[in-house]
Amino acid sequence: MNRKAREDWLSDLDITRTHIFVPAIMSAGILISLFTLVRDALHGRNRRGHSRRAALEAHATAHHVLTGEPAHRALAAGLRPRAGYLLAALSSAGFAVYVAIGATANYFRPNGFVENIVWLWAASLGVSMALSVVAAVCAVAFLRWPKPARWQLPLLAHSPLGQPPTAPRVVSVLLLGWAAALTGAAAAIFTFVVAGAPHRLAAVDAWVAATAPGLDGLAGLGVFDPLGPLPVYLAAVAVIGLAAVRCTAVPVAYVIAAAVGLLLDVGLDLLVPRDRPVGGAADSFPSGHEVQALLLIGFAPMALLVLTRRAWLAWAGAALLAAVAVAAGLTSLQTGAHWWSDMTAGALWGAAAALTGWWALAYPRWHRHCGDCPLSVPHHPGATGLLRLPWRVEHTVRWAARIWVPITVAGFGALALVVGLPANPEGDGVGGRVAGPLQLALLGLVAVGWLVALRWEAAGALLLALAGSVLGTLAALAYHPLVSLAVALVFLAPAVGFWLVWQHRRTLRAIAVLAVSTTLLLSGTWVGALTIYDRYYGPAHPASTAPILPVDRVVWSWAGGVTTESAVVVAKLAEGARRARLGIAPSAGAAPVRSSPEEVVGADGVVRMVAVGLAPGTAYRYEIEVDGVADASRGVGELRTAPDGPASMTVAFGGCARTGSNGAVFDAIRAIRPDLYVITGDVHYGNPAENDVERFASLYGRVLTAPAQAALYRSVPVAYVWDDHDYGPNDADASAPTRQAARAAYARHVPHYPLAGGADGTIHQAFTIGRVRFVLTDTRSERTAATMLGKQQLAWLQRELVTASRSHALVVWVNPAPWVAPASPGRDDWGGYPDERARLAATIAGAGVRNLVMVSGDAHMVAVDDGTNTGYSDGPGFPLLHAAALDRPGGVKGGPYSGGVFPGAGQFGTVSVTDTGGSSIEVTLTGRDWRGTVLVQQRFTLPAR
């Protein structure tokens, strides 16, 4: 099931019962632990318990033989570090109280989780009592340390209370282990609260979300983001990778922790679907950004310590990274990218992963093979080498890897110059701001890894693998995940070559760690690529169930340009067709069939047919006749002519759909049976970049043959203006190389109204339905740094708005670019053209236009404004409806909007007019989703002209 269509997996639970889950789960785990402890103490089947008991009893016997003192006194040599007893006492006591309170409260609470289940309540209390005993024993051991009570001495040998006399008493390992366990438990509990009882955090989340945007000083802190546009992240990862020169354990631990962090992020994203405060392109919980930032804070300073042996430098690095991570977190809150609880959960999970890494690295045995590591210890090498390579083969592999890397870097550089780097098709987020520079920096990191591998093969191979994995993941911005995996393999190939040479001098354990790390890198690449590809190219809501009609004589068709007496139908015919004409008759069958003149089919198979002499306000059924034979499948459709005079109507609006979308939203639009469907731009996300009409024809074909869209277009006439992604590259303007091809393809393939800019000019147009005037503007093909519309279109629009407002009851301006936005040079909306916006607003206010409604797209949201925020002159504003996204992930642009913002996919809007011919009309602006849910609605009355 698609990510955006998932239902909350805890939505059906009774929240009053949820707080028993954690005690119940903990109780099960504690019972297992107690069973293991009892088995160890009473039966001696556990190997470590047997070893501990044998060592302590042998030590006690030897002490008695040598000194004559009672043997039991020597058992005190098995004491663990004092801090361990304190931690065990506090933890056991805390868990005992928690389990007892949770079980008792739920037993006596009406509808409690264990209400009237006596055995489960008793078992929970038994667990609590056992934990209390453990807590008491550990507390006494802590207080009496290093002279335990006599009754405790046998327990040192017969239970985990003690340890062998020769075991190292490393307090740091113990403290780190408990810190990691407690932090992980806190992260799990916090996640459970967010998923199962979000109301407990809603007040804090809402307060932070409302307060942070007003703290403008936080916005500038984003420049310090360790994972942002500055190369802090790459520098930190490079430092961690270089640490392999002295300590291979640190970079390996980081790779594993980073992969675990990514899997946690993806897994929790699936289990806890949650929108961002301002919408967004992905689910919000937890903040994966914060998870990775905490891992950098945890491992980069440790790498500095390994490389420099200067603790102060490591502490300084940790403080610096912590400061920038806090700054980045504050920026995320200020911009509404995450909720406070998202950031907290990310920080907890990241800290737990980092502490777990520290705990593992604190064991000296992981450093037995380090060259000059502060934690390395003398060791005796074990069996080395997994694959025995003859000297000549080893020599060949080494040199092949050394030659492969520069060839690969040069090849990717050439592809970047010729084809371009993979980029986010929407131009926002990571893909828009960072992906290009990041990929170039990663190629630089590959070069650094190659240089390092000339001297230290393992460290260089690690850098190559890391850079290649990230490059492969980013390739999913433009290509299928299999291509991403292939890109990663291209860089992993020389890394594996260096590893094959390196493994001759390493133990089987080191080689196993290498294999696990490589597997994690490839798995991380695959998961990351799937996530990115799904984000930018996958469906953002459930698919339609509309059937795929067979091709008879017509491949696709759609109707538009509907007036009171005419209609335009454009179709692509099957190969070999020569002539075609349109047969059209009223659906009720009360009037004779009319046929358009026979048209000669062009070389591209596209034919444009115009039916004239139709009756106003009448539903018609049409069929396309090809070479004298009527098509019985895709060439059959319906339309309704415009009424002549007052008439009620519903017009649907939508924009922003992935190329060839087959989303259920198109079924929802068809289900309301609108009189007209207006596409507000981005009918596809093809992002054409060449002046090639055939490329546009192919993209139109993918749109018009998608079953759900095809069914809609055969049922409802359309009007359509483009935005950037269906006109050219992201944020395209008049300088786009596609300008002429886009205009030619539009004129050829779209059933449009008469174009005011001419067949080879802008595609702005206007038409009337009943007493409503629709005005569609082209905000792309004449756009420059100085103007959004161009001089001629601007003058036309001003005249049209003023004239139409005086002759019609309502004027609907279809403006693809967001109108409500702060003035700022370079913005891709009207905020980037404040003078032109003010000029239009002054024209509207000066002419006394009070019957204008604007409908916009581009922003992936539904929003309504009652005019509070749309006025950019001394006069009042006008109502505004944003209607998107059809099938793209949700997002927010501009604002504020008086009726609120509803980012998401599978959304569209309607403008309904109730006009009975009286002195006023009623207008209703509605935002809807693919389920039919009304998200927002604004209703008002206007005097009729």
Convert the pLDDT of each residue in 433-446 to its tens digit: 455 666 777 777 78
722: left (phi over 0), alpha (psi -120 to 50) or beta: beta
Domain count of the chain?
Answer: 5
Nearest Cα residue to 732 out of 683, 791, 689, 680: 689
Which of the four pLDDT bands, split at 50, 70 and 90, describes residue 489? confident
* 740 and 702 assigned to the same domain: yes
Residues 6+ apart with CB under 8 A from 174: 80, 81, 83, 84, 87
Note the helical H segments in 212-339.
232-242, 249-271, 288-308, 311-335
Residue 11 and residue 143 in one domain = yes
User: Residues, the chain, total?
Assistant: 945
Residue 338 lies in a domain: yes
Which of 676, 642, 651 is closest to 768 using CA atoms? 642
Pairing of strands 861-865, 901-903: antiparallel
Q: DSSP for 664-706?
A: THHHHHHHT--SEEEE-S-S------SS-HHHHHHHHHHHHHS
499: left (phi over 0), alpha (psi -120 to 50) or beta: alpha
Give yes or no: residues 532 and 559 share one domain.
no
Q: Burial of 760 by CB count in 10 Å (0-12 exposed, 13-18 middle, 19+ buried)?
A: exposed
Q: What are phi and psi of 582, to 5 degrees?
A: -110, 125
- Residue 372 burial (10 A CB sphere; 0-12, 13-18, 19+): exposed
pLDDT of 502 strictly over 60: yes
- Least confident range from 3-17, 40-54, 884-898: namely 3-17
The DSSP element (H or E) to which 855 belongs, if any, is: strand 852-856
Query: Considering 144, 174, 204, which residue would you say is the last residue of a domain?
Result: 174
Which has the minimum average pLDDT: 48-52, 378-382, 811-815, 862-866?
378-382
Q: In this predicted structure, what is the pLDDT of residue 933? A: 93
- For 253, half-sphere exposure in the C-beta direction (CA atoms, 13 angstrom radius) is 27
User: Taking residues 328-349, what's their average pLDDT?
Assistant: 78
| Cα 728 from chain centroid (whole Å) | 24
CA distance 353 to 356: 5
Q: Give the lowest-confidence range in 293-297, 365-369, 700-704.
A: 365-369
> In this structure, are residues 370 and 302 in contact, taking their beta carbons and an 8 Å threshold?
no
CA distance 1 to 538: 12
| pLDDT at residue 460, as a whole number | 78
513 falls in which pLDDT band (50, 70, 90)? Answer: low
**Measured between alpha carbons, how far is 766 from 758 in angstroms, rounded to an integer?**
13
**How many distinct helices (H) and strands (E) make up the chain?**
24, 22
Domain membership of residue 365 (yes or no) is no
**Whole-prediction pTM:** 0.62
The whole-angstrom distance between residue 584's C-alpha and the CA centroid of its chain comes to 47
User: Is residue 20 very low, low, confident or very high in pLDDT (cuts 50, 70, 90)?
Assistant: very low
Q: In terms of domains, do 664 and 736 share one?
A: yes
Residues 423, 400: Cα–Cα separation, whole Å: 31
Task: Count CA atoms within 13 Å of residue 297 on its CB side.
Answer: 24
Element (H, E) at 773: strand 772-776
What phi-psi label fits residue 486: left (phi over 0), alpha (psi between -120 and 50 degrees) or beta? alpha
Helices (H), ranges, 706-752: 707-713, 739-749
Cα–chain-centroid distance for residue 697?
A: 31
Asked if residue 148 has a cis previous peptide bond (ω within 30° of 0), the answer is: no
Q: Which of the given ranges, 72-76, 178-182, 618-622, has the highest pLDDT on average? A: 618-622
Examine the domain organization and report whether 619 and 581 are in the same domain.
Answer: yes
CA distance linking residue 452 with residue 464, whole number of Å:
10
Please answer whether residues 910 and 651 qualify as being in contact, where contact means their C-beta atoms are separated by less than 8 angstroms.
yes
Q: What is the DSSP string of 901-941?
A: EEE-SSEEEEEEEE--SSSEEEEEEEEEETT--EEEEEEEE
Same domain (yes/no): 882, 935: yes
Kindly state whether residue 847 falls inside one of the protein's structural domains. Answer: yes
User: Cβ atoms within 10 A of the Cβ of 630, count?
Assistant: 14
Higher pLDDT, residue 529 or 259: 259
Q: What per-residue confidence (pLDDT) applies to 808?
A: 96
Distance of CA 76 to the CA centre of its chain: 56
- pLDDT tens digits for range 362-408: 777 667 666 667 666 554 444 455 556 677 777 788 888 888 888 88
Nearest to residue 83, comparing CAs of 187, 177, 166, 186?
177
Is 182 inside a domain boundary?
no
Contact 96, 125 (CB under 8 A): no
φ, ψ of residue 677 in degrees (nearest 5): -120, 120
Q: Both 651 and 597 in a single domain?
A: no
Instruction: Determine, yes or no, domain membership for 939.
Output: yes
Name the strands in the sheet holding 810-814, side by side, starting at the edge strand that comes first in the sequence: 765-769, 772-776, 810-814, 852-856, 880-883, 861-865, 901-903
Residue 935 token pair = 């998200």
The whole-number average pLDDT for the span 784-799 is 95
Q: Kind of pairing, strands 901-903 and 810-814?
A: unpaired
Are 656 and 590 in the same domain? no
Residues 530 and 524: their CA atoms lie apart, in Å, by 10
| Paired tokens of 923 | 């207008």
Q: Which residues contact 379 (CB under 8 A, 6 or more apart)?
A: 368, 369
d(CA 888, CA 160): 57
The answer to whether residue 314 sits within a structural domain is: yes
- Assess if residue 849 is contained within a domain: yes
Q: Answer yes or no: do 309 and 399 share one domain.
A: no
Q: Does one domain contain both 636 and 653? A: no
Distance from C-alpha of 321 to C-alpha of 315, rounded to nearest angstrom = 10
Mean pLDDT of 47-71: 55
Pull the structure tokens for residue 131.
């934990």
* Cβ atoms within 10 Å, residue 397: 18
**Domain range for 279:** 213-353
d(CA 275, CA 902): 10
List the structure tokens of 928: 């809807």
CATH number for 885: 3.60.21.70
- Chain CA centroid to CA 324, Å: 23
CB-CB contact of 723 with 778 (8 Å): no
Give the residue from 818, 652, 650, 795 showing the smallest Cα distance to 723: 818
Residue of 827, 825, 802 lying closest to 813 (CA atoms): 802
Residue of 389, 411, 491 whose CA lies nearest to 450: 491
Q: 301: which residues sit within 8 A by CB, 6+ positions away?
A: 314, 315, 317, 318, 321
Residues 6+ positions from 187 with CB-CB distance below 8 Å:
345, 348, 349, 351, 352
Nearest CA to 674 out of 706, 693, 650 is that of 650
Are 556 and 462 within one domain?
no
Q: Are 738 and 732 in contact (CB under 8 A)?
A: yes
Q: Domain for residue 363, yes or no?
A: no
d(CA 643, CA 306): 80
Q: For residue 589, what is the domain's CATH number?
A: 2.60.40.380
CA distance 152 to 163: 13
Q: Which comes out higher in pLDDT, residue 17 or 347?
A: 347
Q: Which two tokens stand for residue 269?
A: 């994203």
Residue 346 confidence (pLDDT): 86
pLDDT single digits (tens) 138-166:
777 777 776 777 666 666 555 665 555 55
Between 324-338, 413-427, 618-632, the lowest mean confidence (pLDDT) is in 413-427
Which of 587, 573, 544, 883 has its CA nearest to residue 715? 587
Average pLDDT over residues 625-643: 94
Tell me the two tokens of residue 421.
Answer: 């780097």
Q: 3-state SS string over 860-875?
A: CEEEEECCCCCCCCCC
Type and span of the H or E element at 636: strand 636-640
Rg (CA), the chain: 35
- Nearest of 846, 841, 898, 837 to residue 867 by alpha carbon: 898
Residue 298: phi and psi, rounded to 5, are -75, -40
Paired tokens of 705: 């043959």
Question: Are 592 and 511 found together in one domain?
Answer: no
Q: Is the pLDDT of residue 812 over 90?
A: yes
Residue 3: band (very low, low, confident or very high) from pLDDT cuts 50, 70, 90: very low
Question: Looking at 642, 660, 684, which one is the last position of a domain?
Answer: 642
Among the candidates 642, 657, 686, a domain finishes at 642
